[in-house]
Amino acid sequence: MTDDPAGTDGGSTGRLSAIAGTLLGCLTALAGLLYFTAAGALLGAFLLWPRTRVRARVLLVTGARRLTAVERWRRSVFFHDLFPEHRASDQQVLRYLASRTCAGLLCAVVAGLLVFGLVLAGLLAAGVARSTLSWHELLTQVVLGSVLLFLDVQGLFSLAALDARLARECFGPGERELLERRIGELAASRAAVVRAVDGERRRVERDLHDGVQQRLVALAMLLGRARRTRDAAQADALLAQAHKESGEVLAELREVAWRVYPTALDSLGLREALGGVAERCALPVRVAYDVSGPLPQSVETAAYFVVSESVTNAAKHSGAGHVLVSLARRGEVLTVLVRDDGAGGADPEGGGLSGLRGRVAAIDGMLEVRSPAGGPTTVTAELPCV
């Protein structure tokens, strides 16, 4: 294995930058202490008097925000923290500056003790060089100095971690942390999509095997009986029954195909496809469609399956009298709401609803299911249209 000079130089530069940022933080903490002392002396009485409290607080927070901006610059330049656009509240700013001042002053004390320990280590080394220390005294000093050095370094690391945590709480998570969260969310949504697709495949296979296949077998048996019979009237009756059975097979096959992917989305659009869902449902379904402009295809597909699955569940399990479907687009978010007046008690983690949640999460959407005992059941999905 060969050494990487560039990587080594980059790591050394990063450590030196962090040390410089920590030392600068000691100075900014001193500035914060001076600010709070001066502000307390000048504005303390005005902060206690109700008539002047609001204006005095505005002056106090204004100065605190300027010092906080310096702290944000220090974290960005020396620690390479990139924070998103975020404006902290007045209470957050004051709490951060007070906590940061205390932590910075404590860090200055710990750093001073470290420098003092290094000076004592130099004097000890000089004493060893002049042979003025016995081995017993040398061993005692080395053990004591090592323990204190360990505690001092650990204190500096802990205070550095505290400084970073205080900055995240005030300025928001950094871009690295946001990226890590995003990666985790994408991994979880991908796994959910895989599970949802597998569930859909199993359901389609079950529908074809238990429904369409059985009807085709029955149709073949009817045609076989019609071929073997010598009674013309019975043959006509069997053929009529076979014709009826073929129509039912086509209807069920069409239903399975719609559950796989509704071709009406491509040919007619989301509104007409939802109208088809309402027509095929055994319950009265009222659709309120308030969407202007075209929608992304992924959003249309997700919205269709949210409505289709929710309406199907309501017709099969809820005992509802009617279903309301509402779609409204506000800005870049499409809100899909399906409400029935059934008995409620739907399991949000059930197979169908969990599959919907995975499908919605795949496009960064949110799905919420509310189904208290006694109803109503409300399924709400928010789908970003970007």
Residue 327 pLDDT class (50, 70, 90 cuts): very high
In this predicted model, which residue has the larger pLDDT, 358 or 48?
A: 48
pLDDT score for 4: 45
* pLDDT, tens digit (0-9, with 9 covering 90-100), for 195-238: 666 666 677 677 677 777 777 888 788 788 888 888 888 888 88
DSSP letters for 117-179 = HHHHHHHHHHHHHTT-S-HHHHHHHHHHHHHHHHHHHHHHHHHHHHHHHHHHHHH---HHHHH
Q: Tell me the C-alpha distance between 352 and 7, whole Å.
A: 50
In the predicted structure, residue 102 carries a pLDDT above the cut 90: yes
Q: Is residue 202 part of a domain?
A: yes
* Whether residue 221 sits in one domain with residue 162: no
pLDDT score for 198: 66
* Whether residue 151 sits in one domain with residue 44: yes
Q: Note the Cα 158 to chain centre separation in Å.
A: 29
* Whether residue 114 sits in one domain with residue 83: yes
* Whether residue 346 sits in one domain with residue 210: no
Q: Tell me the C-alpha distance between 144 and 138, whole Å.
A: 10
pLDDT score for 189: 66
**Angle at the Cα of 165 (from 162 to 171), degrees rounded to 5?**
135
* Whether residue 162 sits in one domain with residue 65: yes
Domain termination site, one of 215, 232, 260:
260
pLDDT score for 3: 42
In the predicted structure, residue 1 carries a pLDDT above the cut 70: no
- Range name among 94-108, 346-360, 368-382 with the lowest pLDDT average: 346-360
* Whether residue 369 sits in one domain with residue 348: yes
* pLDDT, tens digit (0-9, with 9 covering 90-100), for 245-277: 887 777 777 666 666 666 777 778 888 888 888
* Whether residue 168 sits in one domain with residue 26: yes
- Range name among 91-105, 267-281, 324-338 with the lowest pLDDT average: 267-281
Taking residues 12-40, report their average pLDDT.
Answer: 88
* Whether residue 194 sits in one domain with residue 157: no
Number of domains in the chain: 3
* Whether residue 314 sits in one domain with residue 254: no
In the predicted structure, residue 22 carries a pLDDT above the cut 80: yes
Taking residues 89-101, report their average pLDDT.
Answer: 89
% residues pLDDT > 90 (the chain): 11
Q: What is the bridge-based pairing of β-strands 377-384 and 285-290?
A: unpaired
3-state secondary structure at position 213: helix
Q: What is the CATH number of the domain that holds 299?
A: 3.30.565.10
* Whether residue 156 sits in one domain with residue 21: yes
User: What is the residue range of 66's domain?
Assistant: 11-173
pLDDT score for 31: 92
Which residue matches tokens 């402009």?
293
In the predicted structure, residue 137 carries a pLDDT above the cut 90: no
Q: Is residue 2 part of a domain?
A: no
Taking residues 343-352, report their average pLDDT.
Answer: 70
pLDDT score for 53: 86
Domain termination site, one of 230, 260, 290:
260
Taking residues 352-373, report their average pLDDT.
Answer: 80
Q: What 3 state SS string does 292-317 have?
A: CCCCCHHHHHHHHHHHHHHHHHHHHH
